[in-house]
Chain A
Amino acid sequence: MEPLLSVKNLRVEIPVGTGMLKPVRGISFDLQKGETLCIVGESGCGKSLTSLALMGLLPKVARRSGDHLRFAGQDLLGLKERQMAKLRGQDMSMIFQEPMTSLNPAYTIGDQLTEGMIRHQRVSRAEARDRAAFLLEKVGITAAASRLTQYPHQLSGGLRQRVMIAMSLMCGPDLIIADEPTTALDVTIQAKILRMMKNLQAEFGMAMIFITHDLGVVARIADKIAVMYAGAFVETGTAQQIFDAPTHPYTKGLLSCIPVPGKTERGARLGAVPGVVPSLINGVEGCGFASRCPMRQAACGSEPDLTDRGAEHSCRCVHDTDTLRNMEWEAA
């Protein structure tokens, strides 16, 4: 089946004072209808710029390139800004981390929810408001109709994020890209919103790309996971493969860093991945993780490809799968 979104060799380059910053260095993936892909990585790995590149929302100075970026049969790389704008909000939409700043304080919730739909689908104001009220109820907001006349500052952070989610659903998109949508929220609200998003996905069948650094969130919602490091995917696979049989040293390191209630001994030392992310200015020499990797060797001087390690599972490392599986991070 033709995937909903097919990305091949996506790159982002940003000219900076001392050269060319390469925050996204050739990432590829396919996403089927109704699937959830989680892109997980630490700050500065390029995950947020990846999402902006997919939406065509990169800052003006940044350059996007790639072999193809096919969404529902058309290649987005060749589209003009006007055609892209039509697609955004209509067929693909985005949810940002900060619900405080993504809503305009000068307009009511109702105005902001209906604006895109009225523009994209040429429906009447009343129809759009009906849809908005319907979706506000769907995202678990009580007294939805009366909320339409309220302003963002009258809502709590959790409610605002629900409004953002309702807004992303207004035109019935096929793809939602969510960049850390629950990071700024309290844990109970985070759980409720994630659950609601999964339910809405089951109901409306849209695909989701979920960008986060929180491994707990990833484990609970992802179908497929891509672990991103220094601008490239270092390991991709299903949620089970990544969590139960991680292969790449970085993935294994990350998993050893988080305390797992019931598994990690209370008060014991946690694992650590020493060192820092390499500079992405003018690209990376060899394997980006080599400087922090306990298994580095001479061959790491040239960048390895993402190679298959089983069905749907791939890993960017020179070592063979068995060696990687047996590798253990020493407690720091």
Chain B
Amino acid sequence: MTIIDSNEITTAPSPAQQMRRRALRHWGFLIGGGVLGLIILMAVLAPFFAPHDPYAQDLSQRFLRPVFLGGSWEHPLGTDHLGRDYLSRLLFGAQISLTIGFVTALISGVIGTTLGVAAGYFGGRVDTIVMFIITVRLSMPVVLVALAVVALFGGSLTTVVLVLGFLLWDQFAVVMRTSTQQIRNQDYVTSAQALGCTTTRIILTEVMPNILNNLIVIITLEMAHAIILEAALSFLGLGVQPPLPSWGLMIAEGKDMLFFEPFLITIPGIALFVLIFAINLLGDGVRDVTAPENRN
């Protein structure tokens, strides 16, 4: 057989190369990823970095100011109402916020993706049932349900993660359902069916790789969402319980001194803001880098 296309030389870069090139040019992706990476690093290395034990109280050293407000380097970010080192609590607090973000996104991601992909792929009755479950879930106010559950079972890190994980899957389900519907009508899915591939194989190798980018975007959004909700619950006293150094709890504990020592609220507040901002930047970046045609 003649090779007709012999002079059709593939000079176009491969998708992986293109993606790398776009990633290296995308400021939001680089900054978001960089800042998030830094926070993760600090959280992981908190036991080595932290100048003090975050739980060690010293009532004689209460409300010391941070170094930029005239404090000493002994406690660079000052101390709280029990005399605990604020920098150490902030670093260990990052562990809690990130754990909550990751674990919640993992639980809700598994639930939501399973429901969404099943609804999108099988359609018909499965879709009707999943849509009904989503509607039921959407009619439940997250904060109120979380409050009720925590009030019933008592607040703890585990409760908060489980409650949020089982509540925040709706976005996953909705987005994964739509993406799967788009992919399942592609001829390569039909072609895999015509090859006799099992449904599991089709979903794992034909559908999932093509909806992965959307999944990553939702994961980042829901991580941010979970971290904020944890802070809110902890602030209300129904989330993580003292003496764990959650950022939300730190804000709650500082609120009594709002007018006298505003740094107690400002420091964890800024930390929370920077973390959420970085995650959102990264999420937007992932979307732009993986599927630039979907940018609007």
Contacts and interface: CB of A to CB of B under 8 A. Distances in A.
Partners in one complex: yes
Contacts of B6: 274
Interface in B1-54: 2, 4-8
Contacts of A292: 7
A292 B7 CA distance: 9
The 9 closest A-B pairs by CB, nearest first: A274-B4, A276-B8, A275-B7, A332-B4, A332-B2, A272-B4, A291-B7, A275-B8, A274-B5
7 contacts: A274-B4, A274-B5, A274-B6, A276-B5, A276-B8, A332-B2, A332-B4
Nearest to B2: A332
A272 B6 CA distance: 14
Contacts of A272: 4
Interface string A288-314: 000110000000000000000000000
A96 B2 CA distance: 39
A272 B1 CA distance: 14
Nearest to B4: A274
B34 to A, nearest CB: 24
Contacts of A274: 4-7
B86 to A, nearest CB: 48
A320 to B, nearest CB: 27
Contacts of A275: 5, 7-8
Contacts of B8: 275-276
A291 B2 CA distance: 18
Given A276-B5, A291-B7, A332-B4, 10 more contacts: A272-B4, A274-B4, A274-B5, A274-B7, A275-B7, A275-B8, A276-B7, A276-B8, A292-B7, A332-B2
Nearest to A273: B4
Contacts of A332: 2, 4
Nearest to A272: B4
A332 to B, nearest CB: 6
Nearest to B9: A276
Interface string A269-292: 000101110000000000000011
Contacts of B5: 274-276
A292 B5 CA distance: 11
A291 B6 CA distance: 12
Contacts of A276: 5, 7-8
A128 to B, nearest CB: 35
Nearest to A274: B4
Interface string A305-332: 0000000000000000000000000001
A294 to B, nearest CB: 13
Nearest to A279: B11
A332 B2 CA distance: 8
Interface in B101-154: none
Interface in A83-101: none
A195 B137 CA distance: 57
* Residue among A272, A275, A291, A292 facing the most chain B CB atoms (10 A cut-off): A275
Contacts of B7: 274-276, 291-292
A332 B4 CA distance: 8
Interface string A125-136: 000000000000
Interface in A236-284: 272, 274-276
Nearest to A275: B7
Interface string B58-102: 000000000000000000000000000000000000000000000
A6 to B, nearest CB: 38
A275 B5 CA distance: 6
A324 B195 CA distance: 49
* Residue among A272, A274, A291 facing the most chain B CB atoms (10 A cut-off): A274
A332 B3 CA distance: 10
B11 to A, nearest CB: 9
A275 B8 CA distance: 6
A95 to B, nearest CB: 27
B51 to A, nearest CB: 48
A275 B7 CA distance: 6
A258 B5 CA distance: 19
Nearest to B6: A274
A178 B163 CA distance: 59
